[in-house]
Structures are given as C-alpha cells and as structure tokens.
Amino acid sequence: MQRVSLGGLTVSAEGLGCMGMSSVYGAADWDESIATIRRALDLGVTLIDTAAAYGIGHNEVLVGRAIAGRREEVQLGTKFGMDFTTARGKVVIRNDPDAIKASADASLLRLGTDYIDLFYLHRVDPEVPFEDSIGALAELVQEGKVRHLGLSEVTGDQLRAAHRIHPIAAVQSEYSLWTRDPETVVAEAARELGVGLVAYSPLGRGFLTGTVDPAQLAPSDGRRRLARFAQESAAANQAIADEVRRIAESKGVTAGQVAIAWVAARSEKLGIPVVPIPGTKRVSWIEQNAAALQVQLTAEDIGDLDDLADQVVGARY
C-alpha cells in the first residue's frame, strides 16, 4: 500500500470508513467488523476512520477493540460535534470549546488510546465563532491528546479561516464519480494551504459497485431516505453504474475498484492528496477495495468516468 502525506500526517493511500459497522446501512456483525479492520491493517490500510456520532459511540468502541495491540500501526481519525443523544432521529451540532474537550476525552476513552491522530470537526455550528472552536482544538494538540486537525464538509472560506488559527491537515468530504462538490467548494483552498482531501463514500454509498438493489434495502437502511436511491432516480442512475461496470469488465476488475481508482487518481487533477476511505463491514470487500489502487485507468477511461456526474438524477441528500 502506498503512503501519502495529509498536512504532515503520513497515511495509507486508501483508508477504511467504519460507519456502516455501527449505523446507517442496516445490521452488522461485531466479530466480522473487527476482523475487517484487522484485515485492513494486514493489507496496509492503516487510516481508520470513525466518529463519535456513529452508533452514538458504538463505532469508536468497536474500532478501539479492533486496533488493541496494534495501535502503532494505525492513523486513527475520528470526528466530534454531531450529538444524536438529545432526541431520536435528531442531531444537535456542538462546537463550543467545553463540548469539544469533553468529546475528545470521551472519544479517547471509547477508543482505548491516549491520542487521536486526526481529529475532525464533524459539522460547522454557525452559532459558535470559528476561532473558539479551532482554538479549543489547538489546545488539544498542545496537550498531546490530538496530533492533527481536520474539518468535515466545509467551504474553502471556512478552511482558510480555520487554517489561520491552526494548521489543518485534511478536509473530509463526500467525493465520488457521482458527487463532485469538493472540486468547486473546497479544492482551491486546500491546494493553496497544502491540505489533503479524505474522500468518504467513494463508492456512492455502494451504488457504483453495481451490487446494491435499492428496492431490496432493509427498512432500517438509511439509503432509503436518499433521493438517488428512490425508485425512479435509481432506475435512471443505473446507467451510471452500468458504465462503471463496462469499464471494469474491460479490465477484468470490479466496478467498485474502478470507482475507488478514479477517486485516488484525482490527486493529480486537483493538485492535492486525495485519500478514498471506502466503507465496508466484511473481510471479502476490504480485500477487494485494497486492491483498487492497482487498477490502471487510461485517459479514455477517465474521460468517460468524468462525464458521469452530469447524468446523476437526485440530490445528494
């Protein structure tokens, strides 16, 4: 597995998103999830991504259990600030300094570690001055509890404002063949500041793999609430998945591997490190995903894939 630098933090060129092991995408198996994380480490996939919000703490406990005894191999990223404990199905954003420091301590406890490699502000709270939030994060760095700072789903102006207070290593945003928002929202600022992009959902929440039938999703699966997975939209979007599969079949690889390879290849186009963090909760899929960076896309392949975003039917949320 290749290595890249995110604002001074050296990580694997592909990471593992762990959210689905605890929430959103239906049932998951604890033992299989832990085995998946450990297999990822075996394969050199060492950027492990979680958040306090995933399963309301469950995911951090699971990740902590999985990396126990192997902490030195891991670049551990987690996020704070989305509070689902106040009312079922509702979220409150908490970015005030006291909440940030309490969240960091709680995450360290659940993860079973004494430091976090990459601590992200999960969402921006417009009611809290940015300088207060980033200032509190800078204090966590000074205390040794956090080594690098990240932001999730921010604009270029927000990234610049934060970076003026303390260096930001990475921005995490949804980025894939059918979700290209970071290119216009934050890439220019990231390039100016030397900030990397950590791309979550590079598989289009599974749709781009061609293995997900929206009609068969479990009632608890959060994708049922997404416009692109609605019946008519999904039928129209099937043409996108079909094109990814066509290119994959021409290379003897999977559609998911093509989708991940495209995201990783955007580093050169955008002028910033781009690290995809496909999520999975199964050993077989992590093995397949980890091999995606070996896929070689031609200029013609990339041109065909670049055009797919224009065909998407349905809003992102």
As annotated, the active-site residues are 54
Q: Kindly give, in sequence order, each residue whose CB lies less than 8 Å from that of residue 256, ignoring residues fewer than 6 positions away.
A: 203, 208, 209, 211, 278, 285, 288, 289, 292
Tell me how far apart the alpha carbons of residues 100 and 82 are, in angstroms, rounded to a whole number. Answer: 11
> CB of 141 within 8 A of CB of 147?
yes
**Cα-atom radius of gyration of the chain, to the nearest Å?**
19
Structure tokens at 254: 């999977």
Q: How many CB atoms lie within 10 A of CB 308?
A: 22
> CB of 174 within 8 A of CB of 199?
yes
Q: Under DSSP, is residue 3 helix (H, G, I), strand (E, B) or coil? A: strand
The angle formed by the CA atoms of residues 227, 230 and 234, to the nearest 5 degrees, is: 100
- Answer positive or negative: Cα dihedral of 172, 174, 177, 179: negative
In terms of DSSP H, where are the helices of the chain? 30-42, 58-67, 97-111, 130-142, 156-165, 182-185, 187-193, 231-251, 255-270, 283-290, 299-306
